[in-house]
Amino acid sequence: MAILPILKFPDPLLKEKSTPVDGVTPELSRVIDDMLDTMHASAGGVGISAPQVGVLKRIVAVDVSGHKRGGQEENHGLTVLLNPEILAKGGRQIVREGCMSIPAYTANIERAKWVLVDALDRNGKQVILESVGFEAVAIQHEVDHLDGILFLDRVTSVKTDLFRRKKYR
């Protein structure tokens, strides 16, 4: 297991569409373990997608349980999703998002309040997952990465909704 370098904007791989996972192999399991190590080593990291570490496969991991915004809500804990597809979503909320691939900025982004996702778990078993609140936001953000969409692409107004990230000492 290893902590992988995170690709930073404007790396062109971040704008590529990822290909589906064909099956769970030992190599794929190593990639997932490395993604999880990388996510947990990143301050405030609640999600990661394979493209962020240079792997153009449809893999995401989300864990909001330890975050101040997600730890108070109902959530699924550490969740790995292969080939996730958002089947339905509803509600509307404006949330402040950041990204490990765009560390200097955060932005106000409109997202659904809840999502219903069809995916495979890390063992290749089909799961249907309903998620709400901050976890739903994190899932939407990571699934966007699989389609080459960054949160910057969803900013309505650069002038009013994009912010330099504060540096904390």
Q: Give the number of other CB atoms < 10 A from CB of residue 112.
A: 19
Q: Which of 97, 110, 130, 142 is catalytic?
A: 142
Could you tell me if 17 and 49 are in contact, meaning their C-beta atoms sit under 8 angstroms apart? no
Active site residue 142: yes
Query: Residues 6 or more apart from 119 whose CB is under 8 A from it?
Result: 81, 82, 83, 84, 85, 126, 127, 129
Backbone angles phi, psi at 32, to 5 degrees: -60, -45
Tell me which residues are annotated as active site.
142
